Structures are given as structure tokens and as C-alpha cells.
Copies of this chain bind each other. A is one copy, B any other.
Amino acid sequence: MSTSSPLNELLATLLERRPFQKRGEREGAISDLCLALLEDKTEVSGLQTARAILDRYQDLEPGQLIDFFTFLNDDLDVDADAISKLVELYMIENSASNFKQLARASEPHRQELFRRLNEVSGATAELVNMRADLLEFLKENPVLGRTDFDLVHLLRSWFNRGFLVLRQITWDTPASILEKIIAYEAVHEIQNWDDLRRRLHPSDRRCFAFFHPAMPDDPLIFVEVALTKGVPGSIQKVLSDQRETLDASEADTAVFYSISNCQAGLAGISFGSSLIKQVVRDLSHELLGIKRFVTLSPIPGLGRWVEKQDDKNMLEDKANLKKIAAHFLLEAKKPDGKPYDPVARFHLGNGAIVHMIHSEADTSGKGMAQSGGAMVNYLYDLKKISQNVELFGNNDTVVASSAVRSLAKQAARKIPTDPT
């Protein structure tokens, strides 16, 4: 390749002369721009070409999107023949230069393309959105998994935990960020700004989010916390606009009642476990009276699981709901042996245990539908997290309090545990 390509020359000139060029005006297909960017050795026009590609991307129609992803997947793939030859050489002599040739050949060109795009100010968020788009097509085009693998590989590197910044979200946070909290809340919808204020402003409420320095206005994940006396058993009470505020210094329990991922494009790159652990650590230092860290979590799998049972009205048996839920959480499994309930998998995988179960805990339409109103507290005990992670990771052991185990036993005989 040579930097003297006429296209490249043209681009550089064009771009430098028209700094405020409108989007989409540039000649040439987006794929040509990508090739030009990969060819560019000068860094001069590189940023402008990259900016143009990102702008052009915004304007692609669905049909063009699939073409673009296919271009990335096929035209910018690895050269398997080259790898094959170079690995032979490396087996003969594992010198640094043989290694470098092999390493360069082993990396698809699209990785370099993504890296160059990311040099543009603000591009990181756009690449996250590109991944979100890609995920849409992935279901029907599994072969695009090659491109997805590379993009995730880079995103994981860029969103390295060491780069993330924990910030408390308060009523003093800029409105431009708060409106995103409202939009991203995925568990218990925030109705309006008054509802948001009730979750941020009182002395017994906290909210924390992870941010990346290249996306300072856009949270990656956030958790909402209630400080309480005792372990709460009703989300409606926690969120009530009638409730009395507790002085934070009098609280003995911190309740994670909602965790929301904000970026669809970062699916599969998990921040939740780090967030919970850092918040546990920070709150422990700030509020010496807090003795207990629990969640107040939905049981979204319960309804789906009951659907598959003979007795589909099980959730209407209010008297036995807690027993059924306990039994479900401890015994209902996926074919791989992990718990059937996704929220259970998340918290148990983080080292929490099943602590308490409540009926009439989420009486909203959604809550009644997904679990007959039952909710569960998972307990994070810093001293036992490692041990729990080991037990769960190695043996799929679900650790639970004796109260929950006892509840589960009372229900156990009546219900088949494997829904399949």
C-alpha cells in the first residue's frame, strides 16, 4: 500500500479546506473511506476520515448497515493463509520478528479500523452504539459474530475496570445526566422528576454510577440504594412518596433495590459486580452504622417457570407463595446446572446468598405478573463473598439462610424442579 493514493490525497485536501463540511456530503462509499483510513500513514487526514466514516455511518439505512457489517466481517478479516504460513515459521524459530509477523497477521484489519475510529473525540460512545446495532443483526446473521468478537475485544480493553470512575448521583448532579438516569432505569421505572428527586435527595437514599472518561456525560451502569432500619420487604414502601425519611446515621441496612445497565452496546461486558462491591466498600466507610448489605430483587424467572408446571395457578396460592419462591430459587435450574432465575444467577455469582423472601412485595402489574408479587433479598456479606463465589462457581451451590432453606423444604415435595 502507498500513501500516495489519489483518494487519500483528495481526502486530505478536501477535509482540510472544509472544516465545517456538512455530514454525508463526501463522495465515495463508506467502505472506501474505511480502506482509505487503513491506508493512511500520515495521521494528517486520519482524524477527518475517521470523523467522516462515523458521520456516514449515522446515515446508513438498515439495508446499508448489513452491507457495512458484512464488509467489516469479510473484507477486513484475517488472511488465514498468511497465518498458516507464519505460524509454521514461528514453530521453526520463535524469534521476535517471526512473532510480530504472526501477531500482525492474526489480527483482523477491522480491529485497526476500530482503533483508528476511536481516535476521534467522542467516538467511543459511537462505537458502543455501533455494537448495539450489530447485536440487532447478529441473531439472524450469526457469522457476524466474528466482527462482534473483535469489537467486544476492543471495548473490553477500553472499558477496563481501572479506567472507570465511580460517581455518586445526587440532586446536585447536572440535569443532562439525570435525564439519562430516568431514561435508563430498567427495573422500577422512574415516573418523573419528582420521583427521581425522591430517590436521590432524601438523607436515606443514594445512587452511584460508573462512568468512562471518554463518555463523561453518559453513565454505564447505576445502582439505587435505600438506607433502612431492618430489611425491607416491599418495593412499594421503599418508593412511596408518603414514607418518612430516616436520618442516614440511624440506618443499619443498605438496600440495593435497582441496578440498571445503560449501554446496550456493552452487553456481555459486566460492570455490576464491581459496582456493587465498590459501593459496599464506600458505604461501609461513610456510614459506620450500616451492618448489612442486601438487595430487594425481583424474581423474574418465577412466572415463566410456573408456566411450564402442571399447576399454572400456583402463584395465586398466596398462602404458599413464599415457599414456592424459596423452592424455585434453590432448586429450579437451567440445563447447565445454574439457577433458572437470571437475577439469582447475577447475585449468587457475585457471592451473595438468598437471605429472605417476601410476598406482596411488588404489587405492581409487572411484579404480580412475573412473580405473583414475591421478591427476594440477596445478602452481601463481605467476609463470605469469596467462599460463596467458590461454592457457586465450582459446584453451583446456592447458599441460603436457614429461614429460606426451611421455607423451601416445606414446598419441595410438591413441585418438580426441572421445568424441561
Contacts and interface: CB of A to CB of B under 8 A. Distances in A.
A181 B161 CA distance: 29
A287 to B, nearest CB: 15
B91 A81 contact: yes
A253 B80 CA distance: 53
Interface string A1-22: 0111000010011001000000
A12 B386 contact: yes
Interface stretch (A27-35, A98-106, A339-347): A98-106
Contacts of A406: none
Interface residues of A, number: 85
The copy count of this chain in the complex is 4
Nearest to A382: B16
A359 B162 CA distance: 50
A178 B175 CA distance: 8
Contacts of A386: 9, 12-13, 16, 42, 44-45
Contact of A96 (B41, B142, B162, B273): B142
A332 interface: no
Nearest to A124: B162
A185 interface: no
Q: What DSSP secondary structure best describes chain A's contact surface?
A: helix
Contacts of A100: 145-146, 149
Given A80-B90, A99-B149, A213-B213, A162 B119 contact: yes
A250 interface: no
A390 B12 contact: yes
A44 B48 CA distance: 43
A186 interface: no
Interface in A314-370: 351
Nearest to A50: B162
29 contacts: A3-B390, A4-B393, A12-B390, A13-B387, A42-B389, A42-B393, A83-B102, A84-B84, A84-B87, A94-B143, A95-B142, A95-B145, A96-B146, A99-B149, A100-B145, A103-B149, A103-B153, A106-B106, A115-B157, A154-B157, A163-B213, A165-B213, A171-B175, A171-B176, A172-B176, A173-B174, A175-B197, A176-B201, A213-B213
